[in-house]
Amino acid sequence: MIDPASLASLGRIEIIARWVVDGFLSGLHRSPKKGFSVEFAEFRPYQPGDDLRFIDWRVVARSDKWMIKQFQEETNTRAAIVLDVSRSMDWTGSPERLTKLRYAEQVTAAIALLLIRQRDAVGLVRYDDRLRTVLPARARSIQWRRIVKSLEDPGAGSDSRMAEGVQQAAKLIRRPGIVILISDLLVDVDQMESSLRVARAAGHQVTVLHIMDPSELELDTRGEAIFYDPEGTLEVTATVSDVRKAYAKTVAHAIEEWRLRLAALGAGYEVIRTDSPFGVPLRKAFATRQRLP
């Protein structure tokens, strides 16, 4: 329950994610379901990078062909995390808080580690004005290191191709699983509703974590300010006290619209403040996983 900015200052993203997940799991019972089965499925030709432990040396001796044993994978579920890395995410209302992007990246790393610890397969899609990362869902520990490495790649493009990111995530999961969208949702609601409907039609549980800085919710600035669109060119100068009530009403309306639209699709929706401890979004993601059979 430590302040996220203070915690994030103590180490690299993978170290913080381990602390967060270890603390989160300490009070939970381990899942009784198995992760990988030991049931043999088929052979396939060896490819560079394959684990040598799974080479069938008897087949090699008989046929002089290097063949890999494949086993049927029985992970609890499959998940894809969709992370918005557009320019609007790289913002904070106070130097004492993490930007929305840094907060979301830490949440992504923790959720991914939590799922892998539960023997779930997890993939990652990062997007701004184009798809930055597409990692197919895997359940091995090396997958988490791939995800953490991907979070170090640049982003902050000038647009949000969120619909494309969600659609790509749905394709990464071949059977019904989980799609977790992490974004500040500064996009068109109608366009997003359409892509989320496709994910729901494929049988996926969808959870949307709406990342917001406290200043976005409360408009705690005083005096005159210039309000600008970080992903566009629009700028408006206004006295904050004159627009505070109208702003609060607009934000509340937008949040309620997202809540109602997503509820109608059967998707989960949670507003996550960047001053909330990392355990808060982790609980939301874990609750989604627990709803799956």
Structure confidence by residue, pLDDT tens digits, 56-112? 778 777 887 777 765 544 456 889 999 999 989 999 989 999 999 999 999 999 999
**What 3-state DSSP class applies to 205?**
strand
Strand partners for 181: 82, 208
Per-residue pLDDT tens for 256-283?
999 999 999 999 999 999 999 998 888 8
Select from 142, 201, 170 the least CA-distant residue to 81.
170
18 CB-contact burial (10 Å; exposed 0-12 / middle 13-18 / buried 19+):
middle
Strand partners, 236: 227
**DSSP label at residue 55:** B
Residue 230 exposed, middle or buried by CB count within 10 Å (0-12, 13-18, 19+): middle
State the Cα angle at 181 between 176 and 182, rounded to 5°.
155
Q: How confident is the model at residue 157 (pLDDT cuts 50, 70, 90)?
A: low
Closest to 39 (Cα-Cα) out of 76, 72, 7, 79: 72
Cite the beta strand spans of 5-65 per DSSP E.
Answer: 40-45
Q: Are 120 and 81 in contact, with CB atoms under 8 Å apart? A: no
pLDDT tens readout for residues 195-229: 899 899 989 999 999 999 999 988 777 677 777 66
For 226-261, what is each residue's pLDDT tens digit? 776 666 677 788 777 778 888 889 999 999 999 999
Specify the DSSP class assigned to residue 199: H
> Contact at 8 Å (CB) between 82 and 125?
yes
Domains (range + CATH), the chain: 4-30+76-290 (3.40.50.410), 40-71 (no CATH)
